[in-house]
Amino acid sequence: MRTQVGIVGAGPAGLLLAHLLGRDGIGSVVVERRSREHLERRVRAGVLEQGTTDLLDTAGVGERMRREGMVHHGIELRFGGDGHRIDFAALTGGYGITVYGQQEVVKDLLAAREAAGALPLFECEDVEPAGLDGDRPAIHFIHAGERHELQCEIVAGCDGSHGVCLPSAPNGALVAYEREYPFAWLGILAEVAPSTEELIYARHERGFALHSMRSPVLSRFYLQCERDADPGDWTDERIWDELRTRLALDLASGPIVEKGVTPMRSFVVEPMQSGRLFLAGDAAHIVPPTGAKGLNLAVADVRVLAAALRDHFATGDDAGLRAYSDTCLRRVWRAEHFSWWMTSMLHRFPDGAGFEEKLQRSQLEYVVGSEAAATTLAENYVGLGTA
């Protein structure tokens, strides 16, 4: 097998890259270890920056998102029992975000790949990039019981936080920067109308809570929990009680149809490229979900990589590929800081009673009381931090 770009991973990063390359007439093959059903059912984040929705639109995969996505122009911060709206539109000159589930983005991208007759190879085993430091890289894998070698010019590592591409990077030249947080999020999806128009981020003595949504009849919630929490220990009754207390809201409840624990981690690898390997999305960087940046960063990487590959294949101009990592890392570090800051401001830290808690409270009061501070949050949330 031969192609121009071998892509590992069919998450939003890998699928969008394949789609953008295809529109430029550049060949690619996506090698994915899970099934299509698994990808389409996997519930992940759900907030798209305007830059993300614009790109999906331009790429011809934004039609359903425009119909079903919910455009918001602010969020609410809740602490000390009171809510405070951060008005994105007023603070950023009209910007907003779109609430649309990541798995819906994945479904739309898969439909586009299917229409192009270029679906990923699903359920691949023993996926292994090779020859990344030479000029004939390849991806080895087993598909439908047969061993394959996919020869390509470039390997795009879009295989998420537990992928094989990063560990295969040549010559150990990559440096990782990392922070673990002493808590996790319990995420649930419930068949009930949202009890709020906009997202609510709540800081409470019992821990952080977030009220988000997926549609007029589907709500998404998160509760700060122990790092090693067992979702089985969280009965429906306990979840609703805890949400009502922390959100200080008279919440409507409904059947919980999904429940899972998400660890919280910050991680960046530099540079995002080594030899013929280019990393994009979660394969290169992780943010804690408090700033809703993960998917948006993946899309931003892919936008840069697709443009650089277009130049490479059209004219042999590699300036874009050489600048890829530096270009992406500027946005990545802005998002890393913002996500760390939001996380630090809104969560209960196990040994944070006293001084830290007073600082958090002061910071929250500053953010909702000062237009300058609110603008900092708004600008970063809508994705203008590096503009």
Residue numbers annotated as active site:
72, 201, 289, 293, 381
Find which of ligand APR, ligand PHB, none residue 32 binds, CB within 5 to 8 Å per kind.
ligand APR
The pair of structure tokens assigned to 9 is: 């991973």
- The helix/strand/coil state of 132 is coil
Measured from the CB of residue 63, what is the shortest distance to ligand PHB in angstroms? 21
Backbone angles phi, psi at 95, to 5 degrees: -75, 155
Q: Are 70 and 98 in contact (CB under 8 A)?
A: yes
Shortest spacing between CB 210 and ligand APR, in angstroms: 15
282 binds ligand APR (CB under 6 A): yes
Binding mask 298-337 for ligand APR (x = CB under 6 A): x---------------------------------------
Does residue 22 bind ligand APR (CB under 6 A)?
A: no
Please give the C-alpha separations between residue 42 and each of 101, 213, 260, 369, in angstroms, as whole numbers: 10, 16, 11, 38
Output 241-246 pairs: Cβ under 8 A, ≥24 positions apart.
Answer: 242/206, 242/209, 243/209, 243/211, 245/204, 245/206, 246/202, 246/204, 246/206, 246/207, 246/208, 246/209
Residues 158-197 that bind ligand APR (CB under 6 A): 158-160, 162-164
Closest CA to 203 of 103, 305, 79, 387: 79
Question: What, of ligand PHB, ligand APR, none, does residue 383 touch, CB below 5 to 8 Å by kind?
Answer: none
Question: With binding defined as CB under 6 A, does residue 34 bind ligand APR?
Answer: yes
User: Beta strand 209-215 with 218-225: parallel, antiparallel or unpaired?
Assistant: antiparallel
* In the complex, minimum distance from the CB of residue 283 to ligand PHB, in angstroms, rounded to a whole number: 20
With tokens 């007029």, the residue in question is 216
Among the listed residues 127, 138, 264, 378, the single contact to ligand APR using CB under 6 A: 127
Which of ligand PHB, ligand APR, none interacts with 212 (beta carbon under 5 to 8 A by kind)? ligand PHB
The Cα diameter of the chain in Å comes to: 62
For ligand APR, the binding residue among 12, 51, 194, 383 (CB under 6 A) is: 12
Residues that bind ligand APR (CB under 6 A): 8-14, 31-34, 39, 44-45, 102, 124, 127, 158-160, 162-164, 281-283, 294-295, 298
